[in-house]
């Protein structure tokens, strides 16, 4: 098993290590590797470590300094403390967004059992239980570290799930809030919206199974081919905006004392989602990726 999380809050010091050859390029001394690194190479190592199952880069896997650098920020005391106190991703159920100690893979025991029941119900009776929202393919757009935009589908129950599972499947990737095409008009004949390329030609999609998800490729539709359906893109907000919205909406009233992840990506780092809780008349919102956080008084307490 990899070492436990390096929960240092000791800030890193940045300096020009090679002013003659690399003027202006900041480095820091990594206390784990005892090496001089740029934050960028640290972030890359951390990204590789997340996707590494052989333990080759395990020193960088659970490193809080690497996690901060992966968000493109400097590892200050505040940023490191935010991450240290969150411990968010380790316990997060990627389906319901609650933090649970007991989990099976990416989801909590409760979500797992409900899925199992639904599957059994399906096997025994030939249809899924009525009360259970069935899993369906949900899309997320990701910008890979090399700049490539990748569209992936996960069989998921909530909109939160593809965001978290996408970030996990592609270490170092960022949530992408664009669309495969800038043009997606209504097709009156087909009674649906469709993507069109720059020449006004509808786009079709091809899917390819890759591990636990499907990769979507959009291309020009062939004559008579079914166009790709238009789906909503990821919403990216900052914690302040989400807190303000939760304050005035009913969703804010449904929050409890425990952190719950919401299906909004973080516009600052694009590597985390918003988490919120309501405690002592305060609404708290933070990002699971960079730890960016805010706290605001609630407008009103829930009745009763
Ligand atoms: Zn759950
Ligand atoms: Zn963030």
Q: Which domains does the chain have, with CATH numbers?
A: 15-86 (no CATH), 96-134 (no CATH), 137-220 (no CATH), 236-297 (2.20.25)
**Ligand (nearest to CA of 158):** 1
Distance between CA atoms of 212 and 7, rounded to whole angstroms? 30
Query: What does the pLDDT average to over 115-143?
Result: 78
Calculate how far, in angstroms, residue 102's C-alpha sits from the geometric centre of ligand 1.
10
Residues measured by CB to lie within 5 Å of ligand 1, the ion: 93, 95-96, 108, 111
**Ligand (nearest to CA of 114):** 1
List the single range of 53-57, 264-268, 292-296, 299-303 with lowest mean pLDDT. 299-303
Contacts of 107 (CB under 8 A, 6+ apart): 93, 94, 95, 96, 115
What is the percent of the chain with per-residue pLDDT over 90, rounded to a whole number?
A: 49
**Ligand (nearest to CA of 167):** 2
Of 95, 98, 89, whose CA–CA distance to 107 is shortest?
95
**Ligand (nearest to CA of 272):** 2
Calculate how far, in angstroms, residue 72's C-alpha sits from the geometric centre of ligand 2.
10
Burial of 55 (0-12, 13-18, 19+ CB in 10 A): exposed
**Ligand (nearest to CA of 174):** 2
Residue 250 DSSP symbol:
H
CA 60 to chain centre: 20
Burial of 123 (0-12, 13-18, 19+ CB in 10 A): exposed
The total of other beta-carbon atoms located within 10 Å of residue 74's CB is: 16
**Ligand (nearest to CA of 157):** 1
Cβ proximity of 114 and 104 under 8 Å: no
pLDDT attached to residue 234: 95
Q: Which residues pair with 213 in a beta bridge?
A: 210
Query: What does the pLDDT average to over 222-237?
Result: 91
Query: What does the pLDDT average to over 134-149?
Result: 93
pLDDT attached to residue 116: 84
pLDDT attached to residue 132: 75
pLDDT attached to residue 289: 86
Calculate how far, in angstroms, residue 254's C-alpha sits from the geometric centre of ligand 1.
16
**Ligand (nearest to CA of 95):** 1
pLDDT attached to residue 54: 60
Calculate how far, in angstroms, residue 273's C-alpha sits from the geometric centre of ligand 2.
7
**Ligand (nearest to CA of 108):** 1
Calculate how far, in angstroms, residue 267's C-alpha sits from the geometric centre of ligand 2.
7
Calculate how far, in angstroms, residue 303's C-alpha sits from the geometric centre of ligand 1.
27
């Amino acid at each position: 098993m990899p070492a436990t999380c390096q929960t240092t809050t000791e800030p890193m010091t940045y300096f020009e290590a090679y002013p003659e050859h690399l003027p202006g390029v900041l480095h820091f001394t990594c206390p784990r590797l005892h090496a001089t690194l740029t934050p960028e190479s640290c972030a890359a190592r951390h990204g590789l470590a997340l996707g590494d199952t052989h333990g080759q880069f395990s020193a960088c896997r659970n490193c809080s300094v690497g996690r901060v650098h992966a968000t493109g920020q400097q590892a200050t005391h505040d940023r490191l403390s935010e991450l240290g106190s969150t411990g968010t991703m380790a316990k997060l159920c990627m389906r319901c967004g609650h933090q649970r100690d007991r989990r099976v893979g990416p989801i909590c025991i409760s979500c797992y059992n409900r899925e199992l029941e639904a599957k059994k119900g399906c096997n025994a009776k030939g249809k899924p239980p009525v009360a259970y929202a069935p899993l369906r393919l949900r899309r997320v757009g990701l910008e890979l570290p090399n700049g490539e935009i990748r569209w992936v589908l996960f069989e998921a129950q909530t909109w939160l799930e593809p965001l978290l599972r996408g970030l996990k499947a592609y270490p170092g990737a960022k949530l992408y809030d664009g669309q495969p095409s800038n043009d997606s008009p209504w097709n009156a004949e087909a009674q649906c919206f469709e993507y069109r390329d720059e020449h006004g030609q509808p786009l079709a999609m091809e899917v390819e199974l890759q591990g636990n998800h499907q990769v979507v490729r959009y291309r020009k539709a062939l004559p008579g081919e079914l166009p790709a359906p238009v789906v909503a893109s990821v919403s990216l907000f900052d914690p302040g905006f989400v807190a303000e919205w939760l304050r005035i909406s009913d969703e804010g009233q449904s929050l409890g004392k425990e952190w719950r992840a919401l299906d909004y990506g973080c516009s600052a780092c694009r590597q985390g989602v918003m988490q919120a809780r309501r405690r002592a008349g305060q609404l708290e919102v933070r990002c699971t990726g960079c730890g960016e956080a805010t706290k605001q008084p609630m407008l009103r307490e829930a009745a009763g």
